[in-house]
Structure 1
Amino acid sequence: MRSAPRTLLAKLCEQDGLTYRRFSQRFTEVGVRLYGPRPTNPTCGETQFRRWTGGKLTGLPGPDTCQVLEAMWLGHTAEQLFAPPPADDPQAPLFDLEERVLMTAREAHDGADATAAASISDNTIDELRDQVVSLARRYHILPAANAWKLGDDLLREIERHRDRTQVPVQQQSLMILNGQAAALLAVAAFDLGYFSPAKTLARTAAVYGESTRFTPLQAYADGTMAYIAYHSGETTDAVSKARRALSYGGLGDIAQRRLHAIAARAYVHIGDTESAQNAIRLAGDLGLDTRDDLHDEVGGEFGFSEERLAMSNSTTALLMGDPAQAEAEASRALALLAQRSQDDQSTHVRASAAADLAYARLQGDNVEGAADALTSMWSVPAEQRNTGIVVRVARIGRHLAQPRYHGSQLPTELREQIEEFTRVSPPYRLGPGVPLLAIEA
Structure 2
Amino acid sequence: MKQVEETYLKQLVRARDVLPYKRFVRVYEKTARDLELRGLSVERRQYLRWLAGEVKGLPLPDACAVLQAMFGQPADKLFTKVPVQVNVPASERNPEVIDLSPRRGAVWSTPQSSAGPDPRAVPATLHELMMSAAEQSRDSAANAETALGRSTLELLEGDVITLARTYLSQSPVVMFPKISELRTRVEAKTRQSRQPDQLRDLSFMNGVLCALLAEASNDLGMHHMANDHARAAWVHANNIGHVPLAVWARGMQATSAYWNNAPNDALVAISRAEEHRPTGVPAARLNSIRARTWSHLGNTERTLQAVRDAQEARATAPDDEHDDLAYVGGVFDWDRVREERCAATAVLELIRRLHAELDPRALQRLTNLILDHADRARTMSQAEPAEKRSPIVEATILLDMATARLLLGDVSGAHDTLRPIFSLPGDMRTFPVLHRLRGMRAPLAQIQTTRAVQELAETLRDFNAGSTVRALPPGTS
- TM-score in terms of structure 2 length: 0.66
Q: How does 1:21-420 map onto structure 2 within 5 Å?
A: 22=46, 25=49, 46=53, 117=142, 118=145, 119-249=147-277, 251=278, 253-285=280-312, 286=314, 287-289=316-318, 291-321=321-351, 322-402=366-446, 404-406=447-449, 408-420=450-462
How far the C-alpha of 1:429 sits from its partner, in A, is 0.9
Report runs of 4+ in structure 1 exceeding 6 Å deviation. 15-21
- Alignment partners' CA distance in 1, 2:242 and 2:41: 37
2:28 aligns to what? none
Instruction: Kindly provide the amino acid, as one letter, of the partner of residue 267 in structure 1.
Output: W
Question: Could you tell me how far apart the structure 2 residues matched to 1:185 and 1:332 are?
Answer: 29
User: Is the 2:381–2:389 contact (alpha carbons within 8 Å) kept by the matching residues of 1?
Assistant: yes
C-alpha change, 1:245 and 1:294, in structure 2 (3 Å) is farther
CA distance in 2, matches of 1:346, 1:412: 30
Distance (whole Å) between structure 2 residues aligned to residue 19 and residue 339 of structure 1: 42
1: distance between equivalents of 2:230 and 2:43? 32
Distance 2:241 2:42 in 1: 39
TM-score (structure 1 length as normaliser): 0.72
The one-letter code matched in structure 2 to 1:343 is E
> What SS class does the counterpart of residue 291 from structure 1 fall into?
coil
Distance 2:391 2:426 in 1: 12
Paired AA for residue 295 in structure 2:
V
The reply to whether residue 429 of structure 1 matches residue 436 of structure 2 is no
Greater Rg by CA: 2
Which amino acid letter does the alignment assign opposite residue 454 of structure 2?
T
Asked whether the 8 Å contact 1:193–1:432 carries over to 2, the reply is no
Which stretches in structure 2 are left out of the alignment for 5+ residues? Answer: 1-36, 62-73, 75-138, 352-365
- Please give the per-residue CA displacement for 1:49-100, whole angstroms capped at 9, x wherever unaligned: 6xx67xxxxxxxxxxxxxxx9xx68xxxxxxxxxxx9xxxxxxxxxxxxxxx
C-alpha separation in 2, matches of 1:123 and 1:303: 26
Shift of 1:252: 5.0
Equivalent residues of 2:49, 2:55 under 8 A apart = no
| 8 Å Cα contact 2:444/2:453 also seen in 1 | yes
Distance 2:153 2:422 in 1: 41
Distance 1:346 1:155 in 2: 24
Which consecutive unaligned segments of at least 5 residues does structure 1 have? 1-14, 27-43, 54-68, 74-84, 86-113, 436-441
Instruction: Between 383-392 and 363-372, report the one with greater CA deviation.
Output: 383-392
When the two chains are superposed, the root-mean-square deviation of aligned CA atoms in Å is: 3.1
User: How much has 1:23 moved relative to structure 2?
Assistant: 7.9
Letter aligned with residue 275 of structure 1: R
**Are the equivalent residues in 1 in contact too, given 2:426–2:467 (CA < 8 A)?**
yes
Q: Using CA pairs under 8 Å that are at least 6 residues apart, name the structure with larger relative contact order, 1 or 2.
A: 1
In structure 2, what residue type is equivalent to 1:187? E
Q: Is the 8 A contact 1:427 1:433 kept in 2?
A: no
The separation in 2 between residues aligned to 1:294 and 1:140, in whole angstroms, is 19
Deviating more after overlay: 302-311 vs 122-131: 122-131
Aligned residues: 345
Partner residue of 2:10? Answer: none
Q: Deviations over 1:373-392 (max 9, x none)?
A: 10111111111111111111
- Given that 1:206 and 1:218 are in contact with CA atoms closer than 8 Å, whether structure 2 keeps it comes out as yes
Aligned counterparts of 2:199 and 2:396: Cα–Cα separation in 1: 39
Partners of 1:410 and 1:214 lie apart in 2 by: 53
Post-superposition offset of 1:371? 0.4
- Contact 2:296–2:350 (8 Å) recurs in 1: no
**Identity, % of aligned positions:** 27
